[in-house]
Amino acid sequence: MKTPASRRLPPPATLSLCCAALLVACSAGGTETAERSRAPAPAPKVSARATAPPDDPRKGYADAVAAVLPSVVQITAGDSLGSGVVYDARGHIVTNAHVVGDAEDFEVTLATGKNPHKASLVSSYPAQDLAVIKLDEVPGGLKPAVFGDSSKIEVGHIVLAMGSPLGLSSSVTQGIVSAVGRTVSEPREGGGTGATISNLIQTSAPINPGNSGGALVSLANEVVGIPTLAATDPELGDAAAGIGFAIPSATVTDIADQIIEDGEVTSSGKAALGITGRTVLGDDYRPTGVAVVSVADDGAAARAGLKSGDIVTAVGDTRITTMLSLIEALAAHRPDDRTTVTYERNGAPNTARVTLGEL
């Protein structure tokens, strides 16, 4: 059997993070837990109604801007700028992990544009590119946003992106929902977290540097997502117009609630196979699968009988050729899902039934 080797292969499209930098890009990663607060926080306003557009879209635009823009803030983290959304009346603000980077102290400028307020990190969760910060002192008139039910968002719905693109605070752009359920991997360079995030909302609303952490808003005046990524043309290196991605509000509220209540994320909701692995190249130097380097004790792979040296070639009906393809395949599942894993052992094909664990 050929000795496993690895090679980093470029994805078919490049995605850029949307945190604007004054001098340098946001640094990668974040502090897992900077503050632990177990006092229950007031729940954010969450609506379960359908996000149907109003009869007059022009009036709908104005109503949505008036209702939600006061809840969108600008965040300064060192030399970088990003956006955030006021989550509750206690001063919690949700944003992207790549916006906060390695910083623990921030300046937050409210939509009123008055003097910035000091804020501190509660916790950052790079695995879903989300973070929560908290205002040191809660100003009067702070307006929490209403978070809608992102499962009711449909392709074709009109949405608005609100944030601080290129440092222009309280900016609004308009588009539609282009697709739902996208799985996208962030880059690590340029301050990215390297996370693979599933169930993203794709939108044609222009997403520019500085929009990260802001609000994707329906015409029902609800935040349905947090803008995070914009696509770039891999050949030209320029922004690919009309292709942006937002973390759905269901993921945002799940992660934010855990951080606020427990000081950290206690349940990722992301499926795991329980292996470490690396990409294997075939005789033609093309990737052909993922070699299992080690198997976690009592993990999903171990319980299914996989061993070090096996080469994973498929998860369910999804062909696996690289570590990235394996991560993206798992991102489409939830913990405790049952699926099949196809693998080679000593050159012979095998199939195992696996109950996935949690990352």
Six token digits for residue 88: 């509750």
Domains of the chain, each with CATH number or no CATH: 14-262 (2.40.10.120), 271-358 (2.30.42.10)
282: tokens are 């075939």
pLDDT in tens, 135-145: 999 998 899 99
DSSP state, residue 221: S
Which pair of tokens denotes residue 33? Answer: 């837990």
Distances 272 to 199, 275, 334 between C-alpha atoms, Å: 16, 8, 8
Quick one: tokens of 78?
């060192």
**Residue 239: closest CA among 248, 247, 229:** 229
How many angstroms separate the first and last alpha carbons of the chain?
A: 30
Q: What is d(CA 216, CA 265) in angstroms, rounded to the nearest whole number?
A: 23
Is the pLDDT assigned to residue 130 strictly greater than 80? yes
* Position 80 confidence tier, pLDDT thresholds 50, 70, 90: confident
Examine the residue annotation and report whether 198 is marked as an active-site residue of this protein. Answer: no
Residue 209: band (very low, low, confident or very high) from pLDDT cuts 50, 70, 90:
confident
Output 241 or 265, whichever has higher pLDDT. Answer: 265
Q: Which helix (H) or strand (E) holds 229?
A: strand 223-232
Q: Which DSSP string do the residues of 187-202 spell out, in sequence order?
A: -SGGG----EEEEEEE
Position 11 confidence tier, pLDDT thresholds 50, 70, 90 = very low
What percentage of the chain reaches a pLDDT higher than 90? 60
Torsion on CA atoms 32, 38, 43, 46, rounded to nearest 10: 30
| Contact predicate 117/111, CB 8 Å | no
Task: Examine the pLDDT at 153 and tell me if it is beyond 60.
Answer: yes
Of 16, 124, 129, 150, which residue is the catalytic one? 129
Catalytic residue among 47, 88, 92, 98: 98
Confidence of residue 324 (pLDDT cuts 50, 70, 90): confident
Please provide residue 71's backbone torsions phi and psi, each rounded to the nearest 5 degrees: -95, -5
**223: which 2 tokens?**
């935040």
Per DSSP, what are the bridge partners of residue 130? 125
pTM: 0.74
pLDDT in tens, 226-263: 999 888 766 666 667 789 999 999 999 999 999 999 99
Cα–Cα separations (whole angstroms), residue 121 to 28, 101, 132, 263, 264:
15, 10, 6, 10, 11
Instruction: Reply yes or no on whether the pLDDT at 280 is more than 80.
Output: yes
**What pLDDT sits at residue 16?**
52
What is each CA distance from 27 to 39, 77, 88, 197, 267, in whole angstroms?
Answer: 31, 10, 27, 19, 25
Residue 237, both tokens: 């290196």
- 136 a catalytic residue: no
Query: Positive or negative CA dihedral for 125, 126, 132, 133?
Result: positive
157 is known as an active-site residue: no
> What whole-number distance in Å separates Cα of residue 185 and Cα of residue 330?
12
Residue found under tokens 């908290």: 134
> Can you read off the two tokens belonging to residue 325?
């393809």
Q: Strand 287-295 relative to strand 311-315: parallel, antiparallel, unpaired? A: antiparallel
Given 71, 83, 212, 249, the catalytic residue: 212
CB atoms within 10 A of CB 325: 21
